[in-house]
Amino acid sequence: MPNLNAQPWHACDVEAVEKSLNTSCETGLTALDADTRLKNQGPNELKKKRETPAYIAFLQQLNDPLMYVLIGSAFVTFILKDYTEFGVILAVVLLNALIGFIQERKAVNAIAALGKLLSAECTVVRDGVAQKIPTKLLVRGDVVMLASGDRVPADLRLVKLRDLKIEEAMLTGESVPSEKNTGSLGSGAVLADRSNMAYSGTLITYGTGSGIVVETAAATELGKISTMVDTAKKHDTPLTQKLAGVSIFLTWTICFFAVISFVFGIVNGQPFSKVFIAAVALAVAAIPEGLPAAVTIVLAIGVTYMANRHAIIRKLPAVETLGSTTVICTDKTGTLTQNAMTVVRICTSDGDFAVTGKGYAPEGHVSLDGKTLDVLPKLTSHCVIASGLCNDARLVQTDGRWCIEGDPTEGSLLTLAAKLHLPAEGQEDQYTRLDTIPFESERQYMATLNNTPDGVHICVKGSIERLLTRCRYQYTADLQTEELDEDYWNEQAAGMANKGIRVLAVALKPAAHLQHLEGDEILDQLIFIGLIGMIDPPREEAISAVKLCREAGITVKMITGDHPLTAKAIAVQCGLADENEIRLMTGKELESVPDDYLPTVASKTHVFARVAPEQKLNLVNALQSLGEIVAMTGDGVNDAPALKKADIGISMGITGTEAAKDASDMVLADDNFASIAAAVEEGRGVFDNLRKFISWSLPTNGGLGLLILYSVFTGQSPAVSPAQILWINLITAVVLGTSLAFEPKERGLMLRPPKKPNEPLLPLDLMLRILMVSVMMLAGGLSLYDYFHRHQGLSIPQSQSIAATTVVGIEIGFLFCARSRFKSIFEIPFFSNKWIHVSVITMLLLQYAFVNLTVMQNIFSTASIPFGAWSYIIGVTLACMAIVEIDKVVWRSARHMAELKSQNDND
């Protein structure tokens, strides 16, 4: 047999396909031949990816340097029979692993969703007999019968059809069903233009047909996408990368100081067990045990905020990634546009009329030269009525929402008639249909014979090329006839087409003697009425959102499978670029771009039209190679590989396929680009709050680590025990720190440029502030421990409880300071975040229980604090707050000076 994979099937005629696959359009394969091919080719089904066993997925959560140190610490405490600390450390480790495991197991396999698009059964012709068989038994060479409502079971070369239309938006992005034919095409035709092919997983919306199976399973277009989804490697998010960097830095730092403390203690003659426990305590103190849980909580709160703005987050790190986005690659249909064909122009001898309105709702008006018309001129009314009568769609209202049943183009004509309160098919008794010539792709028109109040008329609508050839006359404004001005109408149609407007021509013919439409010759000598132009218009909110993104320094690009002129028109209307500046490239042109030049093309081009799935994936790769943080939107199966590869994949909740949703990080509940801009704003707010939380939490680990290090170098008992350290690290991070997640977004958030991918998680000012607060915790905790133990004679448990409470007090004071990086606490409305106050009260109650309840005293070796000690703790807290606020003043001045210098340099 020939090399089947090398065949450009759309470029072959039917006879060549039959010969190549050794089959017959009439009789199909024999049962014996089909069985033989099935054994050689394998079943027509997509292979499912093996799922990671649950226990392995759980263990993978422990694959982190900080977790290694914690597990090692737990092991050492167990060997030393310190079972309390062992239990607390182990509980922390398991809690963090469980949180990550639950989050990860929520993700669904995109390959399984692609498999659902294959029908269970299909009708084939074998041994000359039509029969139903399971879809998985299809082989190359089988002849498949297609009917309206069927899902195409494999890639087919169409051989026979009648009025066949296939919904291929999941593969091509086309907003209307594709009209099919059987003629051969050029070998370079892109997928969206292959009108003689039917692809696996697409849906028959109209007509019937048959086709020869040319590809099955993984070799189909759907299968290729499945393979791309499976092999596309997801980048770590900026947050994941930065947290990993912090984790590695802390691990090496902790290990270094733990070793130093151990060696120092041994050299100075301290007992091995004491030195070892101290080294473990240092590791436990310096590791931010509560950080993973608290980060998860902060991101989860961001998820809630985004859900309120129609953005449903499927993977938590995507919350922050949105705030780092530098490029948004958006689909056109339904995302930037309303996904509803809408009439915007009517052109007759009366004039060129503009039509307003949204979607299929019968609301809007008609204007001429900027003046709204209450009543249409008679000829234009006839044009609208004729298009409404020559129509098989239905306009219905469901749950308060207007929608259409049938072809979107015909639905837009019904909406137009309803806006103008004019009759359409089936709406008024005096307009009855007597006969129909249905639309066929070969004809490019539809005709109906209608009984009207003015007599029997033939109403015809279709492509301007076909109707002009059947017209000799045209109607004048006063409903008289005159010679057809073919050049004028072609010029008007071309003008609309150049603006991305789809054009339909309308014609009439009086037919008082007719009762039936028989033969195409009846449609000769038609009288031309006019043109109706329609488009899937941009959403108004999407236009505003694109503007907001551009102000925020985010580049918006359109990547669509739709027609180039339509894509360019929508891009201009949405404001992706000015009309004279916009750069457009088609998928065919992309094929000739060298790989090393693709990143340059990707960065400079605003619109990519008629692109194939692998090209979308390549464009995402190209932009990422430039260091861009890429958000990619999509709704079709063809978008799934690029959605998975992008830094943030965004699928459509209403029109999106399951495969697109499962490959994405975020789902738009309303399919609206404006929701992406809102989610970016929320993402930036979440990152700000996450940075506030991390810069607030790390001083605790630094301060506690310094306290342990001091005890090792001086040979004294630690001011805070390891178990108490774990309490402070975990409880304060969750109870106090997560309240920062509720901080209101700061002004001017969307006027900032996106964060640079290499920008550190913690800038210099915050790093120095972390060090400063760590030293203050060391000084405050140590001084009060030493004062009450040595000079007041309190026991070690009491003194340690005072030191631990002092650290918590400084954390509470610093919490109010950390609400803004530069602003004074007096500039921030005190009650703008009620959760700060709730968390402080909760923490004070918990800390009171920590030092006073017997069960807590037994677990953590604490003791009740004398009443007078509280005044010292409060005094230290207020002093630390004052120092942090002075530090802010210094950095505010430095930032102001830098801004002035930058302005002077620009001037």
Helix 238-267 / helix 272-286 crossing angle, nearest 10 deg = 160
Number of residues that make up the chain = 907
| 8 A C-beta contact, residue 432 and residue 361 | no
SS3 794: coil
Residue type, 29: L
SS3 481: strand
How many Å apart are CA 249 and CA 255, to the nearest integer? 10
Structure tokens at 184: 């051969």
Structure tokens at 340: 């509803």
How many Å apart are CA 868 and CA 98, to the nearest integer? 42
How many Å apart are CA 285 and CA 272, to the nearest integer? 20
**Could you count the other beta carbons within 10 Å of the beta carbon of residue 288?**
22
How many Å apart are CA 411 and CA 434, to the nearest integer? 21
| 8 A C-beta contact, residue 138 and residue 44 | yes
The DSSP bridge pattern shows strands 555-559 and 327-330 to be parallel
Burial class (CB in 10 A: 0-12, 13-18, 19+), 901: exposed
**Could you count the other beta carbons within 10 Å of the beta carbon of residue 364?**
17
Give counts: helices (H), strands (E), the chain: 31, 28
Q: 408 — alpha (psi -120 to 50), left (phi > 0) or beta?
A: alpha
How many Å apart are CA 411 and CA 423, to the nearest integer? 14
- Phi and psi at residue 188, to the nearest 5°: -90, 5
How many Å apart are CA 72 and CA 463, to the nearest integer? 75
| CA distances from residue 589 to 593, 601, 615, 639 in whole angstroms, order as listed | 7, 11, 11, 20
How many Å apart are CA 643 and CA 660, to the nearest integer? 7
| 8 A C-beta contact, residue 626 and residue 601 | no
| CA distances from residue 611 to 174, 328, 564, 618 in whole angstroms, order as listed | 11, 17, 10, 11
- Phi and psi at residue 316, to the nearest 5°: -55, -45
* Secondary element (H or E) of residue 97: helix 83-105
Nearest to 769 by CA among 684, 692, 682: 692
The dihedral formed by the CA atoms of 259, 264, 265 and 269, expressed in degrees to the nearest 10: 140
How many Å apart are CA 642 and CA 636, to the nearest integer? 11
Per the listing, tokens 């030049």 go with: 597
Catalytic residue among 82, 331, 536, 765: 331
- Phi and psi at residue 179, to the nearest 5°: -85, 135
Burial class (CB in 10 A: 0-12, 13-18, 19+), 50: exposed
- Phi and psi at residue 123, to the nearest 5°: -105, 125
Structure tokens at 570: 């929508």
Q: Is 331 marked active-site?
A: yes
The DSSP bridge pattern shows strands 129-134 and 143-147 to be unpaired
Burial class (CB in 10 A: 0-12, 13-18, 19+), 321: buried
Nearest to 777 by CA among 710, 846, 726, 707: 707
The DSSP bridge pattern shows strands 178-179 and 311-313 to be unpaired
Per the listing, tokens 């998985």 go with: 136
| 8 A C-beta contact, residue 797 and residue 852 | no
- The residues annotated with a catalytic role in the active site are 331
